[in-house]
Amino acid sequence: MNRLIDSFCRLLEAVLVILLALMVILVFGNVVLRYALNSGIALSEEVSRWLFVWMVFLGAVVALKEHGHLGTDMLVSRLPLGGKKMLAVVAHVTMLYVTWLLFSGSWTQVVINREVLAPVSGASMAIFYGSGLVFSGCSALLLLVQLWQIVSGSATEADLSMSQESEDMAQVEALHFGQNQTSSKH
C-alpha cells in the first residue's frame, strides 16, 4: 500500500511541476506583453489563478503524506509510546472530520457553480472548486491508511509525529545539542 501511495505522490509532484511551469509561462508572458507591447492576455490571469489554487491543494496532499506541515511536538515527544499513539489517533480522527467538512463545502460549491461560467475563459467554475474535492478525497484516503497503520501497530514512532519543526528551530536544536555534547566532553 505504501508503494502505491508513494507512486501516487510522485505523480502528483510531476503534475505540480507541470502546473508551476504553466503558471510561470503564463504570468511571465503576460508581464512581457504588458511592458513590451502594452497589451496582455486576459485569459492568462484567470488560468494562472486557477493553476495556483490547484497547486496549493495538490501540494497539500503531498505534504500530508510526507508529514511536511509545520508544527511542534513539544508535548507529544515527551509522552510514552501509548500516549503518542492515543494523540495520533485523536489527531487523525479530527483531521478526517475537518476533511469531511472541506469535502462537504467543496461539493456544495461545485453543485452551485456547475453552470456558472468564469468571466474570461467561459469554463465552469466547478473546475475551480473541484480542487477541494480532489484534496479531500486524496487526504481522506491518506489519513485512513495512516490511522489504520497506527491502530494496527505497524506505524513507527517517527510516523506518530505528524509535522515538522521549522528549519530555524531545527538549527537551534542542533546548536543546543552540539553545545551540550561539547560541554560534556570537558
Please write the tens of the pLDDT for every residue from 139-180.
999 999 999 999 998 877 777 776 666 565 556 566 666 655
pLDDT, one tens digit per residue, over 45-72 is 999 999 999 999 999 999 999 888 777 7
- Residue 183 is predicted with a pLDDT of 46
Contact in structure between 29 and 46 (CB atoms under 8 Å)? no
Q: How far is CA 97 from CA 94, 105, 139, 143, 160, in A?
A: 5, 12, 11, 11, 19
Contact in structure between 53 and 128 (CB atoms under 8 Å)? yes
- Residue 158 is predicted with a pLDDT of 73
**Closest alpha carbon to 135 in 15, 25, 22, 18:** 15
The average pLDDT across 113-135 equals: 94
Contact in structure between 80 and 100 (CB atoms under 8 Å)? no
CA gap 6, 111 in Å, rounded:
32
- Residue 38 is predicted with a pLDDT of 85
Region of poorest pLDDT, from 19-28, 69-78, 108-117, 132-141: 69-78
Contact in structure between 49 and 127 (CB atoms under 8 Å)? no
3 state SS of 164: strand
- Residue 182 is predicted with a pLDDT of 47
> Which residue would you say has higher pLDDT here, 87 or 104?
104
- Residue 146 is predicted with a pLDDT of 92
- Residue 17 is predicted with a pLDDT of 96
